Amino acid sequence: MKKTAVLAACVLGAVACGADPGVENVTFSQDASLFQATVTYTLTGDEPAIVTMDIATNGASIGAANIRALIGDVNRLVQPGDHAILWRPDRSWPGNLLTNGELEVSVKAWPECNPPDYMMIDISLGSQSIPATNRVTYYECADAIPFPGGVTNDLCKTDYLVMRRCHATGVPVRIGTSAEEHWAEARWTPHYVTLTNDFWIGVYEVTQRQYQHFCGSTNSFATPSYFTVDAATRPVENVMYIDLRGWSNDSSATNGRKLWPETGHEVLPYDCIGKWGHNHTNVLWLVRKITGMDFDLPTDAQWEIAARAGKGGNLPDGTAYVKTVNGEAGIVRVKRFARFFKNSQIAGNSQTNAWPAAEGGTAKVGSYLPNAWGIYDMCGNVAEWCLDNYGNFTTDSEIDPLGPATPAGGAIRVYRGGSWMRETWEVEVSERRGMNPNLAARDIGFRLCLTIQ
C-alpha cells in the first residue's frame, strides 16, 4: 500500500546569484510493507543546484536528526531534470509509518554561490580516482549530518572534513580588543573589517588522522605530532607553514621563497624541491588534489570573524574577559570553551620547559563547547597558522585585508587563538602572534578555509 502526502514545493536560498534554481512536481509515496518512502522532484533552471529536504507533520519539522537515512539526489549538487530521493524513516524516526498522510515535504534548491551552512567531504579515499563532486555533501544544520550525533561523531574528525559557512558578506566586524575587554596592545588594535564574500571554515582543527589522509599514511610527513595518545582525533601540530604551502627556488621572490601574499593563493606542487635541495610536503596542494577545491589557510580577518561568530566580546560566548557574567569570572567561562595550560596537565606554568605526558597537552578536537556558529576550539588546544604576514593592527577600517606586504628581512606569519600551553588571557578570540614560517611548535596546527565565490 502506498500513501500520498501533502506536499510543499521548493524554498530558495536567500542570496540570488545568477539564475535561481527551482523545484517543481514534488511527489511523496511510501511502501507500508518495506517502510521505504520515495520523494520525486524536478529541478528547474539551467544550472546545477544543491538540493536539501525537510519533512514536517502538523506544520512542524520532525527534526534534521530524524531525516538522516536518505539516499539519492539530495544533500548534494544536482543537475537540472527529474530526480528521486529514497528515505527509510524506520531507521531514523520512531514514527516510521506515515499512515495518516498528514505530511509536508519541502525540497529546497540552493545556488552553488549560496550553499547551506554545512559542507562535508569524504577524504578517507585519499587521491583515489573518485570525482571530488561525488565526495561532497551539504546540510542545513549540524544535526542533519548522517552519523549518530551529527557533527560530533568521530567520523567528522577523521575520515570526513566538515566545513561551516561563515556569513560575513558586507558586514563590518570589529576585530582586535581594547582595555575595556582585557588590555590594549598594538598587535590587536580594535578596528573594523568588511569581507566581500562568505567563506567556509573547518568545524574542527585538522586532526592527525585527517592529515594522514591528505599526506598518505606511509609518508614520513604524515605523523609529525608529539601527542600520540588518541592521535586520530587530536589536532595535528608540529607542522611548519612551509609544510602547508611550500616554497620555491624562485630567486626573484623574497629570500627565494614564493609565499602568500607574493603569489596570491598559489601553493606549490607536492614534493617540489625547496631552497636547500630537500622536499617539502605542501599539504595544501594535496588537500586541493583530493577535494577538487582551492582550500587554504584563513586570513587573519577570516579567522577572527569565524572565532567571534557574530558576538562582540573577546571570549567565544561574546562576553569580555574582564567582566563578571552571572557571577562568573572570565577564567570560569574560558574553561568551557578552551584547552589551555590550566586544564592540559602541564606541570608548573606556561613558562616552564616541562612537557606534559603524551596523554596531556592537546585534547581531542570538540572536547569543549563550540562558539555560536558551531565551530570548536577556536580558542586554545592548538594555535592555528593564518595566511597573513604578521604586523600590528591599526585603527584604519579595511575591506578584505591581506596583511602587510612581505618584510624585506623575511616573512613572519600570523598564528591565532592561543593553545594548550598558554595562560587564560592568551586564548581569547583576539589573541594573535607571529612566527617564522620554517619553524614548527608542539602547540601550533591549522584549520582549513575556503572563500565562497
Q: Please report which confidence band the pLDDT of residue 350 belongs to, taking 50, 70 and 90 as the band edges.
A: very low
Look up the pTM and report it.
0.91
How would residue 264 be classed by pLDDT, with cut points 50, 70 and 90? confident
Q: Residues 376, 366: contact at Cβ < 8 Å?
A: yes
Residue range 201-207: average pLDDT?
98
pLDDT reading at 261 higher than 80 = no
What was the pLDDT predicted at 58? 82
Task: With cut-offs at 50, 70 and 90, classify the pLDDT of residue 253.
Answer: low
Q: Check residue 257 and give its pLDDT.
A: 54
CATH of 6-112 given 1.10.287, 1.10.10, 3.30.70, 2.60.40: 2.60.40
Topology, domain 134-451: paralog of FGE (formylglycine-generating enzyme) (3.90.1580)
Q: Per-residue confidence at 193, pLDDT binned at 50, 70, 90?
A: very high
Instruction: Enumerate the CATH 2.60.40 domain ranges in the chain, comma separated.
Output: 6-112
Q: What are the φ and ψ backbone dihedral angles of 121, each rounded to 5 degrees?
A: -125, 130
Lowest-pLDDT range of 206-220, 276-290, 293-307: 276-290
Chain segment 117-155, per-residue pLDDT in tens: 999 999 997 666 677 778 999 999 999 999 999 999 999
pLDDT tens sequence across 54-86: 999 888 899 999 998 899 999 999 999 999 999
Q: Which residues of the chain form CATH 3.90.1580.10?
A: 134-451
